[in-house]
Every structure is written in structure tokens, then in C-alpha cells.
Amino acid sequence: MRQNLRDMKAVQEPRKEDNRPKRRHIFLRIDSWIDSTVWSAGFRLGEWWEDTTIFFRRFRVRGWKRAFFEVLGEGMTLGAAGSVLMLALALPAFEETKGNWRAQSDFAVTFLDRYGNEIGHRGIIHEDSVPIDELPDHLIKAVLATEDRRFFDHWGIDFLGLARAMTENARAGGVVQGGSTLTQQLAKNLFLSNERTIERKIKEAFLAVWLESNLSKKEILRLYLDRAYMGGGTFGAAAAAQFYFGKAITDVNLAESAMLAGLFKAPARYAPHVNLPAARARANEVLSNLVQGGLMTEGQVIAARLTPASVVDRAQVKAPDFFLDWAFEEVQRIAAPFAQHSLIVRTTIDMGLQQAAEEAVESGLRQYGESYKVKQGALVMVEHGGAVRAMVGGRDYGESQFNRATRALRQPGSSFKVYTYAAAMEKGMTPETVVVDAPITWRGWSPQNYGRKYAGRVTVMNALARSINTIPVRLAKDKLGTEIIAETAKRMGIETPVRTDKTMPLGTSEVTVLDQATAYAVFPAGGLQSRRHGISQILNYDGDILYDFGRDAPPQRRVLSEQAVSSMNRILTQIPVIGTARRAALDNGIITGGKTGTTQAYRDAWFVGFTGDYTTAVWFGNDDYTSTDEMTGGSLPAMTFKRLMDYAEQGIEHRAIPGIEIAPAKPAKERSAETAKPDENALPPLVRPRSLSADVTRLLKKIGDTFEKAQPLKARERPGGKVAVLEPTDRGVNMRTMPGTTNN
């Protein structure tokens, strides 16, 4: 009985081992389904591919047709790759349009020099911006016939015109025609600089297409006529008509229109107030262009040929255009929040120093440019306190408006070493600290000294004075690190991003001339921030002061310790005496400090120096980065510095360089003995005209200081109980009685 019950229970409750075969069967089914599905999919894909191949065999071509389609296929492949490349190139160009690029037209600025004399204008005077429909028809035709005959037919880039220009240039063996359209020139004026690089030309092309897509032809033409530089410090055809002819742009005749149209190509060369015969010859070419382009007949232009335009006699005082361009950018930055954008701006520029700076650069290039194979130079002079007194952005503003003082990024060479040594002085080193000049390898790089010689154990003063290369690299490797050096340079005033690679201590990270002048000005300022600035005051036409540098600028802060500055000044003032900058030493015993810089292959030559009164950075080189003929910072840059600073230091009270006493002036006998054998390589000196004697100048300054320190005026009681009030006014002191009283 019990056995039967156990058998029945076994039947009702199967054992767990019996489930295992069932699970194996399930996994086998799943595996079988996967195999069959994959095989079926592959089989069907193969069938589809075979059917597709059979279908496309109908379109198979042979012979010349096959060659055509092969080329077409390759073209589509290259076109796709080219489209990706074009997009990559276009993105940087379109970044230029992100800002408010129309904002320049919101400003109309009249600039004054440091003494209140008018020196130029920037921005668009709204009343002078005339709509295209109101301009004379012959002016529009003259501009288009000369600058872009197919303006209304192309979409920013004229490929036919470009091909024609290339053909004509090939025939002539040089550049006789330009291929840029009017829209491309506007793109350059609005967004780019005049720097001659492939990158700029690529951006210019894309921006021209962007302008054509976003503006009408009339808007493009109006902007071009309003923004182009027309010589004589004028921008826009309306301003040029007033400057050259003394009349509104709507009143110019055909001869005057032809002369204006001829200025777009080279405003400095064809400016009529500078070279009237050249301007008239150029205007005659414009008249010929009108006839050749079919816009006018010879009979219509014959009167303008026989009676060329006459111009208003203008004093030939050059406007400081490079400085004004930079100052205008500063005004737009400072005055952006102001409700009023028609402004009068008092700048820091000293026109006497500016003209001397321009003459120093130009005379250096004229005298030594051919022998050194150098074509360009730039200079910035900053007075103690940060005021920019002179700025030269290139040899000829009319030929190129690219400001090499503020925009050109060039390697500073050994002139960058001062930031390494300044950082070392902050760490406790002194000019007497002994360092080792010996071969060194850092991250696989082995820098060499000039002449490939090593001096062994030398002092820091000797190392910087002789511009030894291995020692700043050794300091960066063993004691400082490139991050600390870069931070020191930025703190002193270098605004350009500083690279921190291993070669940076030798000056491979690019800077601007303005940056160098700003940073070096920390040394004569005793370690305080130099606070460079070109704007002293901004006023509206009611005389209200909207901005004052002394009131609104942040206070100076210390960027180098007094110990570090004193040590650096002791070294830098020895470089014009025993170092590489002996041609920068000034006359009359005025102490000078500074450092030369020469880059690899002699592409750039620098001298950045200072006295207690001024700091000046000088650069010479070529726009296309070609090498000079072994020009060093101790040659032409140092001589240019000396010529300008000898002029600037005449007739003023000299400040001492912190940590350095002012050397007494040399006796007349010593000066005459020195001048008896002049340096054959020196530039001729500039003589500063004297308007006041030194004694009178000191007396006037003393009187001015007395007035500044005087107590404010107070009311006092007059006889009869009446109160007289003394009030300071712009014409002196005014005395009035209080309300309710009368004057006796």
C-alpha cells in the first residue's frame, strides 16, 4: 500500500532533474531561430544586391561617356570634401560679424590733442551721410567705372573680373589691376585690417558673400562711400568733398567726382592737397574708365578733361591717423553706455613728439632701409603716468592703414627676457647673483648662445646685459616655470595671450609694440601699473564731462615689488653702457634703461627703453616676415630710440629712474669733444623748438601747483551786513552779493 502511495506521489510531483532537458530544448530553439534569421537576412541581402547590380547594369556606359561620368563622380566627391573645407574656412570669417558692426556709424567724434587743438575726426557725421539716390549720378558712375564695373552683376566675388585682372597682370609682369570687388573692399574696411595675409583674403571673400546676402546693393555702395579712407585724415566721400573742395557732396561736378573716385586706390599718393598734378592725372584715368566702360561718351567727359578740378588750399599738417584709429576704438569701448555718441575727445597725444616720432622712423627707413632690407617700422611712446604721447603704426598710412603698433603680432626676441628676470627678482635674486652659462637641454631642446660660446659663471647683471640665451631658459626650467613668467608679463601689461612653451623665455610668444611700451613703463614707474591710455576726457557738445581718466580710471596697483624694480633698473641702465644697446645712450648724461631684441633669421629687431620721463618701444621688420640683412635691435631700433628721446628730453625737468640717481649733465667741453667725432652710423639729431626757458617753465609750474593746493574761497561779510560771495568761474573769480542785497 505504501509503495503504491509513493509511486502516485512521484507521478504527481515530478523530480527537479526532469526540468533540465526542457530548458536545454528552449535554448536550442533560440539558437536555431537566431541562426536561421541571420542566414535568411544574409541570403535576402545577397538576393537584393544581385537584383540591384543587375538593375544598374542597364546604366553602364563605355567609351567617352564612362570617362565623363568618372570625372563627374570624382568631382562630386571632391565637391563634398571642398564644402566641408569651405565651411571650416568660413566659420572664422563669420565670427567677425557677431558684434555690432554697424556701431561705428553711431559715433561722430572730434579729437583734440593734449593741449586742446583739433587733430582729426572719426566716425560718420550723420548729416553728411547722404542717401545714394541723392548723390550725383556722375559720382556713382565714376566710382563704379574705376572700382567695380560689374558691381550690380556679381554676388560679392567677381570671377570674370578676377580672371581679367590675372590675365592683365601676367601680361604686364606685375600687379597692374586688382581683382577685389567693391564688396570685398567694404568687408575689409568693416571687419578686417590691411594686413597682407592669405587668412585675411579668405575671410574677405566669405564676408563679401555675407554682405551681399544681408544688404542690398544700395546699402553696400552707401557704406563703401561712407567708410573708405580718402586721404587728408578724411573718411567717406562726403567728408572728402568738404575737405578738398569746400562743398557738399551733392554739389560736386564731374571733374571733382573723377578726382574723388581716383582716391580709393591710393589716397596718400593721389591726395590733391599733397600732389595736385598726380591727382589730376588719376582723375583723367577715371574719365577714361567712364568712356571705356560705356557709362559716358567722350563728348560728355571732354569738358572735365579740359577743366580739371581745383582744391581748397590746406595746411600740410599730417593727422596722427594711426593714433586716431586706436583712440577711436578706445572711445567706442568707453562711451558705449553713454546716451550721446556725438563727442569731443581730448587725447593724450603731443603733436610735437608725434611729428618727431614719425620723422625718426621715416628717416631711419630712408637712410638704412635699403642696406638692411627693411621696409616697415612702428613706435609707441608713453609718458610717466601712462599717457600715450606718440604712436607710429607704419611708414605710410595712405598706403596701408594696418596699425603695426597695436595689431601686428611679432616675436620680441631677447626683449622678452626682462619678464623672466623680473620674475626671478621677485623670487629673491639680485643683480649680483651668480648663474651658470653652460649648455642646457630642456624637453629635447638645446638653445644656443649667439656665437655658440659659453661664459661659465656670470652675474645676473652680466647675463642680461650680454643677452645670454641659456640662462633665462635655465631659470625657467629650474626655478620659475613658464607659467610664472607668463603671469609676470601679463601683470606688467602684456595683453596679447602669452604662450607657455619651452621656447617662450627667449621671446617666441608674439606681442605688440604697444604691449611692450606698456610693460616696460612699469620700471620707471617704480613697479606700479603704467595704466596706458590715449583718452584724457570725453565731453558732449554742451561741455559736460562724460569721462575723465583721472576721475574714472581705476587706481594704480603695484605689479612688481620695490626690490625687484630697483634690481631690474640697475641692470637695464647698464645695457646702453656695457651691453647690446650702446647706440641708445642719450646725450647730456641722461640715464637710459632698456633691452634689445632680435628674432630668428633677423625677421624682427626691437629696442624698448626708458628714461625717468618716457618709455618708448621701437620695432623694425617686414610685413611679409622676410628676413632683414642682419639688422639687430642694437642698430636701427636703438638709433631711432636715441634720436626721438634726445628730442623729447630737451627743455624739461628730468625725473629719476627709481633706484637710479640722475647723472649730472656733462660739461660743455666734454660734449664738444664727443661731438667732434660723431658716430658715422648715428641718425641726424632732432632739435626741439623752445617756446619758454627752463626757468619760466619751472615758475609757471610752481604757480600752477600753488593754485591747486590753495584753499577754497569762502564767503565774507561786507559793511552794512551784506554778504559778498567769491565764486570761482572759468574766467577767474566772480564776486556777487547774496540774494536780497545790492552791491555798494
- The span from the CA of 279 to the CA of 269, in Å, is 8
* DSSP secondary structure letter of residue 654: P
Contact between 618 and 631 under an 8 Å Cβ cutoff? The reply is: no
Grouping H, G, I as helix, E, B as strand and the rest as coil, residue 673 is helix
- Please say if 561 is a catalytic residue: no
Minimal CA–CA distance to 392: which of 347, 348, 362? 362
| Intra-chain end-to-end CA distance of the chain, in Å | 152
Which amino acid, 172? A
- The span from the CA of 590 to the CA of 9, in Å, is 122
Minimal CA–CA distance to 299: which of 311, 308, 291? 291
Widest CA span in the chain: 152
Minimal CA–CA distance to 365: which of 693, 90, 98, 683? 683
Residue entry with cell 534569421: 37
- The span from the CA of 451 to the CA of 431, in Å, is 24
Antiparallel, parallel or unpaired: β 342-347 and 108-112: parallel
- The span from the CA of 318 to the CA of 395, in Å, is 13
Catalytic pick from 129, 257, 414, 530? 414
- The span from the CA of 360 to the CA of 620, in Å, is 12
- The span from the CA of 452 to the CA of 456, in Å, is 13
- The span from the CA of 410 to the CA of 607, in Å, is 13
Contact between 129 and 359 under an 8 Å Cβ cutoff? The reply is: no
Count of positions (residues) in the chain: 744
* DSSP secondary structure letter of residue 560: S
- Label each residue of 38-96 as H, E or C: HHHHHHHHHHHHHHHHHHHHHHCCCCHHHHHHHHHHHHHHHHHHHHHHHHHHHHHHHHC
- The span from the CA of 338 to the CA of 332, in Å, is 10
Neighbours of 225 (CB within 10 A): 25
| Rg for the chain, CA atoms, rounded | 37
| DSSP structure string for 358-394 | HHHHHHHHHHHHHHHT--EEEEEEEETTSBEEEEE-S
Residue entry with cell 632732432: 686
Grouping H, G, I as helix, E, B as strand and the rest as coil, residue 650 is coil
Minimal CA–CA distance to 643: which of 665, 668, 618, 674? 618
Minimal CA–CA distance to 617: which of 515, 511, 493, 517? 517
Catalytic pick from 147, 212, 256, 426? 147
Residue 604 phi, psi (nearest 5): -135, 140
Grouping H, G, I as helix, E, B as strand and the rest as coil, residue 243 is helix
Q: Beta-strand (E) ranges in 418-501? A: 434-437, 456-459
Cα-Cα-Cα-Cα torsion 504, 510, 511, 512, nearest 10 degrees, comes to 160
Minimal CA–CA distance to 155: which of 101, 105, 207? 207
- Please say if 693 is a catalytic residue: no
Catalytic positions are: 147, 414
